[in-house]
Amino acid sequence: MKITITDYCRISPHREVITRNMLFRCVPKPADVNQVLSDMYNYFHIDYRKFFKMDTLSKVGFLATELLLEDLNKEQPKEDMGIILFNHSSSLASDAAYQQTINDKNNYFPSPAVFVYTLPNIVTGEIAIRHKIHGETAFYITSQFQPALIEETGKAAFAGTGLKCLLTGWIEVANDEIDVCMMRCEVDGKRKMTFHARNIEKLYHI
């Protein structure tokens, strides 16, 4: 089985968005990261009002996916597409935000809207709902970016579940910084870039 990387989206800590066809530089620091993501949403002319209710991790994954799947019909069910993502900090930003709502017994206001995002795999759910992706979804927490693990896990998903297309990669949000390297991988895809740890590493460092 030949698996190729047919597209990629790199959002660097320098707030540059790099795809196969485009380079976009976001507002430089110290602008609020959610304002930066809102600017990206507007720049790419996306229309999905639920975006503004998402946590930062979900917003980042959502935006990267919009660019990776812009040529596909969002309303067409995708039975043979899956999502497998990785990061280090899990949903820590949302965990901290929720903790602030329950710290003070005299000012106790737990928010269901915040609580729902205290699981990192919510981002895969948001993406799957938006694009009607019905294949396997998973989110793994690792100590660091590991191209070999991304390759191994992705290939296992293709072999074990019959996927034809997979969204995979690294999606980290911590300390108001974004670090994303997501890929669209396909069986017998048209591009020449093989889904291999060496190429995943190259995309991360572009």
pTM assigned to the model: 0.91
Distance separating alpha carbons of residues 72 and 70, to the nearest angstrom: 6
Whole-number pLDDT of residue 91? 77
The three-state secondary structure class of 181 is: strand
Span 109-118, average pLDDT? 75
The three-state secondary structure class of 116 is: coil
Whole-number pLDDT of residue 98? 65
Work out whether strand 177-187 and strand 3-11 pair parallel, antiparallel, or are unpaired. Answer: antiparallel
Work out whether strand 3-11 and strand 16-19 pair parallel, antiparallel, or are unpaired. Answer: antiparallel
What are the tokens at 94? 């949302």
Residue 130: is its pLDDT beyond 80? yes
ω before 30 within 30° of 0 (cis)? yes
- List the chain domain ranges: 3-204
- Percent with pLDDT over 90 in the chain: 67
| CATH number for the domain formed by residue range(s) 3-204 | 3.40.47.10
Q: Which uninterrupted H or E stretch holds 144?
A: none
Distance separating alpha carbons of residues 181 and 203, to the nearest angstrom: 7
pLDDT in tens, 50-109: 999 999 999 999 999 999 999 999 999 999 999 999 999 987 677 667 677 677 677 777
Distance separating alpha carbons of residues 59 and 47, to the nearest angstrom: 13
